[in-house]
Amino acid sequence: MRIRNIRVIDPCISRDEISDIFIHDGRIVSEQDYLDLSGDTDDTEIDGTGLIAGPGLVDVHVHFRDPGQTHKEDIHTGSLCALAGGFTSVVMMANTLPPTDSCEAVKGILQRAECEDLHIYTCATVTKGMKGEELCDFASLIDAGAVGFTDDGKPILDESLMAEAFKQASDLGVPISLHEEDPAFISENGVNSGSAASFLGLKGSDRRAEISMIERDLKIAANSNVRLNIQHVSTREGVEAIRRAKATNPNIHAEATPHHFTLTDSAVSIYGTLAKMNPPLREASDREAIWEGLADGTLDIIATDHAPHTLEEKSCDFKNAPSGITGLETSFLLAYSILIKKEIADYSDLFTLMSLNPARLYGLSAGTLQPGAAADIMIFSPDETTDYTSSRSKSANSPFLGKTFEGKIKYTIVNGKIVYSS
Sequential pLDDT tens for the chain (422 residues): 999 999 999 999 999 999 999 999 999 999 999 988 877 566 789 999 999 999 999 999 999 999 999 999 999 999 999 999 999 999 999 999 999 999 999 999 999 999 999 999 999 999 999 999 999 999 999 999 999 999 999 999 999 999 999 999 999 999 999 999 999 999 999 999 999 999 999 999 999 999 999 999 999 999 999 999 999 999 999 999 999 999 999 999 999 999 999 999 999 999 999 999 999 999 999 999 999 999 999 999 999 999 999 999 999 999 999 999 999 999 999 999 999 999 999 999 999 999 999 999 999 999 999 999 999 999 999 999 999 999 999 999 999 999 999 999 999 999 999 999 99
Which pLDDT value is given to residue 42? Answer: 60
Strand partners, 421: 411
pLDDT of residue 43: 78
Could you state, in order of their start, the residue ranges of all structural domains in the chain?
2-52+372-421, 57-362
CATH 3.40.50.720 fits 2-52+372-421, yes or no: no
Q: Does domain 57-362 have CATH number 3.20.20.140?
A: yes
Give the DSSP H/E element, type plus range, for residue 286.
helix 284-296
Are the C-beta atoms of residues 101 and 129 closer than 8 Å to each other?
yes
Contacts of 250 (CB under 8 A, 6+ apart): none
Q: Check if 346 is active-site.
A: no
Rounded Cα distance, 235 and 208, in Å:
9
Query: Which residues are within 8 A (CB) of 92 and not within 5 positions of it... i.e. 6 or more apart?
Result: 62, 63, 64, 100, 109, 120, 121, 122, 123
Residue 40: its pLDDT value, please? 58
Closest to 352 measured CA to CA, from 8, 7, 12: 12
Classify strands 377-387 and 2-10 as parallel, antiparallel or unpaired: unpaired
What integer pLDDT is reported at residue 36 of this predicted model?
87
**Residue among 128, 174, 175, 125 at smallest CA distance from 153:** 125
Which one from 182, 286, 305, 376 is the annotated catalytic residue? 305
Rounded distance between C-alpha atoms, residue 133 and residue 168, angstroms: 16
On the question of a common fold for 2-52+372-421 and 57-362, the answer reads: no
